[in-house]
């Protein structure tokens, strides 16, 4: 039932019907609890996390994303359901709470391993990807290392897909306007193209950070030239 609902052409409609009938609360209480929970966004008014998650699912359907991506997208904010109400609309450490809820959910459902691994990664890393434009080359290199972008290239691309869809699900946003994914791809390419033979892990990270800085500087210069 969960897989079929996620893979529907308009998954938001399916989940709305499940919520209205009480099925969602019985099947996925972690997701049902997100409705009515406020979260900050770039507008004056907070968004309802549950409503946002439904818009996010529809964005993954528009992107024709596979099941693992749609499942991970649904899991992204589940930790916000357990945020103490006194700190709303902030959600400090929702990632840790989300990982615990995902672990419990995985005991109830036979979640495919690729979907579960991506779900863990999305909970942990999606907000970091959203901050990619604010990161210098060193932190970007460290982020790519933490994401194992070279070891798991498909999972890295799926993470970027979830983040793009998450951005597009906010009011007034669109997937075409999300620059963080391309910035991280450029950084990943520079990271991958750095020769670190014989270097210690720290020296390798520094060399990769240097390559990333040069690549991003070059992309920025080309952008300014194109706009001149």
**pLDDT higher than 70, residue 225:** no
Q: Which of 60, 175, 172 is nearest to 122 (CA)?
A: 60
**pLDDT higher than 50, residue 228:** no
For 171-197, the pLDDT digits (tens) are 999 999 998 999 999 999 999 999 999
- The CA R_g of the chain, rounded to the nearest whole Å, is 19
pLDDT of residue 227: 53
Burial of 111 (0-12, 13-18, 19+ CB in 10 A): buried
**8: number of Cβ within 10 Å:** 15
Q: Which residues contact 50 (CB under 8 A, 6 or more apart)?
A: 31, 32, 34, 35, 36, 37
* The pTM of the whole model exceeds 0.75: yes
């Amino acid at each position: 039932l969960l897989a079929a609902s996620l893979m529907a052409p308009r998954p938001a409609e399916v989940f709305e019907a499940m919520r209205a009938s009480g099925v969602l609360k019985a099947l996925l209480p972690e997701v049902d609890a997100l409705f009515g929970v406020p979260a900050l966004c770039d507008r004056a008014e907070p968004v309802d996390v549950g409503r946002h998650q439904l818009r996010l699912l529809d964005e993954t359907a528009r992107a024709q994303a596979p099941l693992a991506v749609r499942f991970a997208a649904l899991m992204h904010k589940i930790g916000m359901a357990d945020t103490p109400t006194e700190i709303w609309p902030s959600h400090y450490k929702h990632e840790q709470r989300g990982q615990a809820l995902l672990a419990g959910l995985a005991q109830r459902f036979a979640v495919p391993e690729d979907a579960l691994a991506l779900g863990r990664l999305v909970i942990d890393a999606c907000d970091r990807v959203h901050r990619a434009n604010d990161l210098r080359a060193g932190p970007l290199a460290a982020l790519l290392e933490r994401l194992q972008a070279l070891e798991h290239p498909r999972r890295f691309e799926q993470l970027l897909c979830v983040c793009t869809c998450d951005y597009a699900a906010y009011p007034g946003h669109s997937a075409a306007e999300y620059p963080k994914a391309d910035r991280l791809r450029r950084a990943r390419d520079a990271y991958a193209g750095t020769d670190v033979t014989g270097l210690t892990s720290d020296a390798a990270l520094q060399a990769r950070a240097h390559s990333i800085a040069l690549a991003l500087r070059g992309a920025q210069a080309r952008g300014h030239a194109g706009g001149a």
